[in-house]
Amino acid sequence: MTNLVDFRIALFPGDGIGNEITAPTVRLLDKIAARVGGFSFTWQHCDAGADCYLDQGTALPARSFRSAAAADAILLAAMGLPTVRYPDGREVTPQIDLRMELGLYAGVRPVKPIPGVRPLLADARAHNIDYVILRESTEGLFAPQAPGIRDGDREARETMVITRATCEKLFDFALNLAAERGQQRKVTSVDKANVFIAFSLWREILMERAANHPDVTADCAYVDAFAMTMVQKPWVIDVAVTENMFGDILSDLGAALMGGMGYAPSADIGDDHAVFQPCHGSAPDIAGKGLANPTAMILSAAMMLEWLGKKHQLNDVTKAGAILRRAVEMAFVGGDLVTRELGGNAGTDTVFAAVENALERIDA
Ligand code: ATP
């Protein structure tokens, strides 16, 4: 009989729709663990976010941070509210604080539309795209070492930070990812090296690291041209590695190409820790109405299973991730399940029920 492995997961429901998509995702994960067998979860509920800031005066209490740092993985729904801000006007963003504090430099944002979800691009070649935007997530224009400076109402400045230490790890991650995916085996730097010197260092380091990976090619694109490529011929993209702010913007474009924010999962991965969370925010405009599409959250949970399985070399956990992914695909195949953001009437409960139903039809 296989020994039971229990994973301690720090769970951050956060704000707005985060609260609505967390509990059913946990239910799906417990269900799949029971079905596949060999592993289970202990859930540690962690307070953080805008509501937490209003209640407790901090957006990321020390106790929540300690739980996150000690956990096997972190599952986060959505945080922040446009109306809740620090005195200097910035929104509270504890999800960014977690990335900085835990060194989660590799923001993995897959762009892979689900068959059956109405594609945004007309060209049939765009319907089967499968690429990854790898967003550097600890420095660039979000670097904590370079807080913006404001001189009254006359001037304000921000600084972009690119370091060798982070670039080396990020590019190794990108090159390994391209090799593991085994598709085009290509890493594309998405930058603005024709304007900013930070990106000439960035490009140099990519080419140095790529020299150690003769099985993967590396090339470079300017971010403006790359945005067009994402729309005009996305099938040429494999792994696109980019600076923090560019990655923030391009991953929303990627989400749109998959059907909307409710379809885009992500993982923020470091050497020792990882956070899994949908790309979307707390969507206060639809919170509390049962309209949130939970697909991105469910697919982020599948990424968590795959990461845990790979890290601990537990094939059953990796398999559970693939089963969850398959259940999502089965729920949407045929095109009858249409979420509210695409003009249908499938809200949160309907999508969860369809995925749960598909899960029951899959042989574990
Ligand atoms: P953040 O900056 O925190 O990422 P944001 O300001 O980009 O957040 P979101 O909260 O992601 O904004 O919302 C952007 C739009 O997408 C809103 O119209 C919102 O209703 C919609 N949206 C976001 N998530 C979902 C979802 N899961 N299902 C349906 N619509 C969503």
CA dihedral sign, ordered 176, 180, 186, 189: negative
> Are 124 and 250 found together in one domain?
yes
With 0-12 / 13-18 / 19 or more C-beta atoms within 10 angstroms meaning exposed / middle / buried, residue 120 is middle
Do residue 72 and residue 162 come from a single domain?
no
Domain of 7, in residue numbers? 1-108+262-364
Q: Counting atoms of ligand 1 from 1, which one is nearest the CA of 286? A: 20
Which residue, of 218, 233, 258, is where some domain finishes? 258
What is the distance, to the nearest Å, from the Cα of residue 136 to the centroid of all Cα atoms in its chain?
12
- The half-sphere exposure of 225 on its side-chain side, counting CA atoms within 13 A, is 11
Cβ burial, residue 97 (10 Å; 0-12/13-18/19+): middle
Residues 8 and 97 in one domain: yes
Sheet holding 131-136, edge to edge: 39-45, 5-14, 73-78, 274-276, 267-269, 106-111, 131-136, 239-242, 186-191, 217-222
Instruction: Judge if the beta carbon of residue 285 lies within 6 A of ligand 1.
Output: yes
Tokens of 149: 């400076």
Domain count, the chain: 2
Confirm whether 113 is domain-assigned.
no
CA atoms of 315 and 151, how far apart (whole Å): 56
Q: Identify the pLDDT of residue 146.
A: 82
Q: How far, in Å, is the centroid of ligand 1 from the Cα of 207?
A: 36
Q: Whose CA is nearest to atom 16 of ligand 1?
A: 261
pLDDT value of position 2: 59
Whether residue 114 is contained in a domain is answered as no
Side-chain-side CA neighbours of 71 within 13 Å: the count stands at 28
CATH number at residue 300: 3.40.718.10
Give the end of a domain, one of 239, 258, 277.
258
Going residue by residue through the chain (364 aa), what tens digit of pLDDT does each one get?
457 999 999 999 999 999 999 999 999 999 999 999 999 999 999 999 999 999 999 999 999 999 999 999 999 999 999 999 999 888 999 999 999 999 999 999 999 999 999 989 999 999 999 999 999 999 999 998 788 899 999 999 999 999 999 999 999 999 999 999 999 999 999 999 999 999 999 999 999 999 999 999 999 999 999 999 999 999 999 999 999 999 999 999 999 999 999 999 999 999 999 999 999 999 999 999 999 999 999 999 999 999 999 999 999 999 999 999 999 999 999 999 999 999 999 999 999 999 999 999 998 7
Are 55 and 94 found together in one domain?
yes
CA of 20 to the centre of ligand 1 (A): 14
In this prediction, residue 363 carries a pLDDT of 82
Quick one: which of 252, 361, 245 has its CA closest to 296? Answer: 252
The reported pTM is: 0.96
Q: Of 258, 285, 320, at which residue does a domain stop?
A: 258
Q: How far is the CA of 198 from the centre of ligand 1 (A)?
A: 31
